[in-house]
Amino acid sequence: MKKKILAAAGTSVLAALVFAAAPPAPPRAPLGLPTASWPADNPYSPEKVALGKILYFDKRLSADDTVSCATCHDPKSGFTDGAAVSTGIRGQKGGRSAPTVINRAWSLNQFWDGRASSLEAQAIGPIANPIEMGNSYPAVVARLNSIEGYKPLFKAAFGDETIDITRVAKAIATFERTVVSGDSPYDRWKAGQTKAMSPAAIRGLHVFQKAECDACHEGANFTSNMYSNIGVGIAAKETDLGRYGITKDDAEWGAFKTPTLRDIEHTAPYMHDGSLKTLEEVVDYYDKGGTPNKNLDRHVKARKLGAEEKADLVAFLRALSGKGWQDITAPSSFPQ
């Protein structure tokens, strides 16, 4: 009898040790989205999310303490900045609109031109950009090392107090992967809640499919993660050639990454140059067939939709607004 009790106790202790050693499970994906993949070299942990969130909002990562990641990707503006182009240190203007951080966990290459191969690479790109945060990686690491309050946070997230740019990238990227949107009226309607979407939005879904919007805005996150030339900005005095500037591939001349349509109503203005202010303007732009050029995507062509069809399409786009990201707010204080 004594041996049986000891054996049972030993099993219990072993189970407890295994449970304690198991990595914490990431948050569940919201309704409508698949389970997100986490990099093998940067697994989820709540401590890393907590550190990444503080770094994301900390303006001390910029050269003059005026710009943080949240300056251009603000929760109050759907994790964008609501501007046609973003403003960096010393009031400098960038050349492109800030894309939303929402649902980056399901994205592939980052930035409008896909120049960053991972969210980790994207997370620190603006730090060293002279127009955005205007800093250098060594200067940022030195600054963070000078702030005693950061050391226990890095230790909690990574196991020791070492601060380097790779850990900064991993922490910010881990936080960004928790900025999600799902459980929208569309998701609930698709799950069988027949009244979750309005009749106009349901009609708009049919227009969305009829007009081949889903050729590029496909799948659970409503993006192919690929690049298309839709003619936006092609007639500008200094044309932004998008993906071509990275790959030099003629097939990607004037092409930009297809953004997610999740929470699109909250991320105006639209397009890589912020040139379209409303969803109605976006629908009109596509309906006319974009701006003709030598590499216009074959799916971009005049549709001649009626006024009601356009209104229904906008209603459907608004039905893609979900839940999750609205709960994220800036920290009340920062490490000292």
Residue 28 sits at the vertex; the CA angle it makes with 23 and 31, to the nearest 5 degrees, is 165
Q: Is 251 helix (H, G, I), strand (E, B) or coil?
A: helix
210 backbone φψ class: left, alpha, beta (φ>0; ψ -120 to 50): alpha
Distance, CA of 322 to chain centre: 14
Instruction: Give exposure, 248-271, as e/b (b: 16+ Cβ within 10 Å).
Output: eeeebbbbbbbbbbbbbebbbbbb
Strands 256-257 and 227-228: antiparallel
Parallel, antiparallel, or unpaired for β 181-182 and 256-257? unpaired
Could you give the CA distance from residue 274 to residue 294 in angstroms, rounded to a whole number?
A: 22
Radius of gyration over every alpha carbon of the chain, rounded to an integer in angstroms: 23
Give the active site residues: 132
